[in-house]
Amino acid sequence: MDDGGAGRFDAAVGARLRGLREARGWSLSALARAAGIGKATLSGLEHGTRNPTLETLYAVAGALEVPLTALVLAPGDPPEAAADVRGAAVTATLLEVFEEPGATFELLRMRVRPGVVQHSPAHATGVTEHVTVYQGVLRAGPGDAPLVARPGEHISWRADVPHVYCTIGPDEVLASLLIRSPR
């Protein structure tokens, strides 16, 4: 969703966001408060005039209790239709979405830039994250007790609490991220 400033946020994503908010009967102010973002920022997202960070998208999705894909993909769109989403340290590329009766699974390729800590907001209740590292050393997980994974290792945590991502050392981390969101 972040294109480095070259363009603007997809207006269809803003329309999906507005539709989800209105379906819940929430005002712009109520969702902005619940997501912990400014009302002007939320209005800009809905109108396609602001480029959100990964942190902002997850804050809004968490407040609405929907997976990220509910915001970035139209029903029936293939995963490759979603643009990369960039946060303070993480760039995520959606690879696949799996739907089961009790949960949605989002599989992403993740790059974590060295020298920056990304603070991610809590997701909806019961969401878990599962990371497998392929390159570099990753510190990620709950903000008060992050875990460490090296190449070939896997870590998991409940992501319904604030959590962090950062590298240990000077190398970029390449990893897969599987997010499980209960329905």
Q: Is the pLDDT of residue 28 over 60?
A: yes
Residue 1 has pLDDT above 60, yes or no: no
pLDDT tens sequence across 68-80: 888 888 878 888 8
Are residues 53 and 86 in contact, defined by beta-carbon separation less than 8 angstroms?
yes
Position with higher pLDDT, 87 vs 4: 87
For 92-141, the pLDDT digits (tens) are 999 999 989 999 999 999 999 999 999 998 888 999 999 999 999 999 99
DSSP state of 65: T
- Sign of CA pseudo-dihedral 5, 116, 68, 64: negative
Predicted confidence at residue 3, as pLDDT, reads 36
Whether the predicted pLDDT of 2 surpasses 70: no
Q: Are 65 and 124 in contact (CB under 8 A)?
A: yes
Q: What is the pLDDT of residue 96?
A: 92
Q: Please report which confidence band the pLDDT of residue 6 belongs to, taking 50, 70 and 90 as the band edges.
A: very low
pLDDT for 9: 53
Q: Which fold has domain 79-182?
A: Jelly Rolls (2.60.120)
Phi, psi of 160 (to 5 degrees): -90, 25
To which CATH superfamily is domain 11-72 assigned? lambda repressor-like DNA-binding domains (1.10.260.40)
The pLDDT assigned to 10 comes to: 66
| Coil/strand/helix, residue 176 | strand
At 65 the pLDDT is 86
**Tokens coding 132:** 């497998």
Which sequence spans correspond to the domains of the chain? 11-72, 79-182
**Percent of the chain whose predicted confidence (pLDDT) is above 70:** 95
Distance, CA of 14 to CA of 168 (rounded, Å): 36
Q: What is the DSSP letter of 81?
A: G
Strand duo 128-135 + 173-182: pairing: antiparallel
